[in-house]
Amino acid sequence: MDAQCRHLLIDGYNVIHSWPRLRKYLRRGGEVARARLVEQVRVLHDVEGIRVTIVFDGRGDDIEIERPTPDLTFSVIFSPRGLSADGVIEQLVGTARSPESIQVSTRDNLMRETVRALGAESLSPEELEARIQRCEKQMARNLERQQAGVERAWRRRE
């Protein structure tokens, strides 16, 4: 990942359909699959400290923005009916002050070419998954260090 990336845009359903472990949740309904993707991606937000926006195809007349955490830098967007998630992503990249600081995760080749032409970088769903796994390992290492520090502190008190 380019160290300058400060905003990761994710083509939600595209990534869900690309990951077998998430695709299976679609049988239970889109809501379950979406929640699992949000859960998986949150580690990137927390470990890398970047802005994350997951964009899904619309379900209403207006654009909807949800905040699954208290952080304003982690959002889920539902496009309005008649505008695809791809269209929302294109608008976000196209109107960004610094499109070079944006990465878009999608398997859609046309979308990948479009965001590159607008100045952003593209990231395949497999690259996104590998990045999440690296962040999960980093979180586990951080937790182990923290626990070891707590244990040392308790031993000194005994």
Kindly state whether residue 62 falls inside one of the protein's structural domains: yes
Q: What is the C-alpha separation between 58 and 82, in angstroms, rounded?
A: 8
pLDDT the model gives residue 4: 60
- Full residue range of the structural domain in which residue 24 is found: 7-133
CATH number for the domain that contains residue 114 = 3.40.50
What b-and-e string marks burial along 37-47, b requiring 16 or more CB atoms within 10 Å of the CB?
Answer: bbebbbbbbbb
Kindly state whether residue 152 falls inside one of the protein's structural domains: no
As for how many domains the chain has, the answer is 1
Paired sense of beta strands 74-80 and 51-60, if any: parallel
**DSSP track, 88-125:** HHHHHHHT-S-GGGEEEE-S-HHHHHHHHHTT-EEE-H
Kindly state whether residue 61 falls inside one of the protein's structural domains: yes
Low-confidence ranges of the chain (pLDDT < 70): 1-4
Kindly state whether residue 154 falls inside one of the protein's structural domains: no
pLDDT the model gives residue 3: 44
Kindly state whether residue 102 falls inside one of the protein's structural domains: yes
Kindly state whether residue 77 falls inside one of the protein's structural domains: yes
Contacts of 67 (CB under 8 A, 6+ apart): 74, 75, 76
